[in-house]
Amino acid sequence: MAGVSPPDRVPDPPPDPPRGTTVAQLGEFGLIGHLGPRFAQGAHVFVGPGDDAALLRTPQGHVVVSTDLQVEGRHFRREWATARDIGHKAAAQALADVTAMGGRTHSVTVGLATPGDLEAQWALDLADGIAEECAQVGASVVGGDLTRADQVMIALTVIGACEVAPVLRTGARPGQVLALAGRQGWAAGGLAVLGRGFRSPRALVEAFWRPAPPYDAGPQAAKAGATAMIDVSDGLVADVGHIATDSGVRIDVQTSAFELAEPFHAVAAALGVDPMRFVLGGGDDHALVATYDSLDAVPDGWRVIGSVLAGEGVTVDGQDYDGDRGWDHFAQ
């Protein structure tokens, strides 16, 4: 960037405030002063947190941008998870959107709205969780915004790049196969457990607290020639339905492709439900589903779970599906 010099001094991080110090007591700029140093900056960051905006060196090719919003009571509850876990989950949810385009995130901005009486350490722990999740993909938190609100709200904007052509939702064609990478249904099982006041089976609850998106699988799919792709954030049937609608095809999901681990059966038995409902209607794991031209095109680490056919909508085992399809923010 000719004519512009990077900052010549980065302030040393201050010690964390004493436990019990609230956000209001610390003040907006005091909290910002504690937050900034928690985020390591990559070589692509010319100017990071601290100025009016970040300056980034972007690679050639497609730039991928997405924004994700988390609202307390709607997306998370502080009594259900630690601030660090909530940070991991908020970041994973946003980062998965770039992955689903076949890209890799390199930069993130974070907006945080919080009541004044929130303990400042909670906000710092949240920042640590976000930073740790972003580190998994090599992304830098380069800035953000902070304001006061009646409840906690977290907004992440992710910026990434695609090494090859991005994968959209519009490329599925009859005769292709549907494949999945990552775990599916675990977070939904965990949410069902937490919603009834329990914390076991632990494996399902931890899956809800900390999603594990297959970050490498998105670029892998793009290089392998995936024709359409999406991350499962709202529900498998719902999100596969977006590919079907945008591509003008029917997609059939085969339940025999899924092996249900013991925790699914334990929770389903306790609730009196079919364990497949967690797989078909569950989101929040942020698995990837993609379509490929043939079985031979499906990369290692992906498993075929269905097929693309002429028609419209989503069927399950060849039949219309009238069960839980997934989450709709304005219908639930």
pLDDT in tens, 15-48: 888 888 888 887 776 777 777 777 777 777 776 6
Is 169 known as a binding-site position? yes
Please name every residue paired with 111 in a beta bridge, in sequence order, or none if there are none.
145, 155
Asked if 310 and 174 count as a contact pair (C-beta separation under 8 A), the reply is yes
Tokens standing for residue 219:
């670029």
Same domain flag for 187 and 233: yes
Measured at the CA of 247, the angle between CA 244 and CA 250, to 5 degrees, comes to: 35
Same domain flag for 236 and 279: yes
Q: Would you state the pLDDT for residue 42? A: 78
Q: What is the mean pLDDT of residues 119-128?
A: 95
> 205 in a domain, yes or no?
yes
> 7 in a domain, yes or no?
no
Same domain flag for 183 and 158: no
> 129 in a domain, yes or no?
yes
Is 107 known as a binding-site position? no
Is 216 known as a binding-site position? no
Same domain flag for 48 and 129: yes
Q: Would you state the pLDDT for residue 56? A: 73
Q: Would you state the pLDDT for residue 40? A: 77
Residues 227-271: tens digit of each pLDDT: 999 999 999 999 999 999 999 999 999 999 999 999 999 999 988
Is 234 known as a binding-site position? yes
Is 68 known as a binding-site position? yes
List b or e across 245-277, with b for residues whose CB sees 16 or more CB atoms inside 10 angstroms.
eebebbbbbeeeebeebebbebbbeebeeebbb
| Contacts of 130 by beta carbon, 8 Å cutoff, 6+ apart | 39, 87, 88, 90, 91, 108, 110, 141, 156
Is 145 known as a binding-site position? yes
Is 67 known as a binding-site position? yes
Q: Would you state the pLDDT for residue 35? A: 77
Of the residues 100, 134, 162, which one is the last residue of a structural domain?
162
> 236 in a domain, yes or no?
yes
Of the residues 130, 162, 194, which one is the last residue of a structural domain?
162
Is 117 known as a binding-site position? no
Is 75 known as a binding-site position? yes
Find the CATH number of the domain harbouring 205. Answer: 3.90.650.10
Range of the structural domain that residue 107 is part of: 23-162
> 88 in a domain, yes or no?
yes
Rounded CA separation 162/311 (Å): 31
Residues recorded for the chain: 332
Of the residues 131, 162, 193, which one is the last residue of a structural domain?
162
Is 52 known as a binding-site position? yes
Rounded CA separation 151/196 (Å): 23
DSSP string computed for 239-275: HHHHHHHHHT-EEEE-GGG-PPPHHHHHHHHHHTS-T
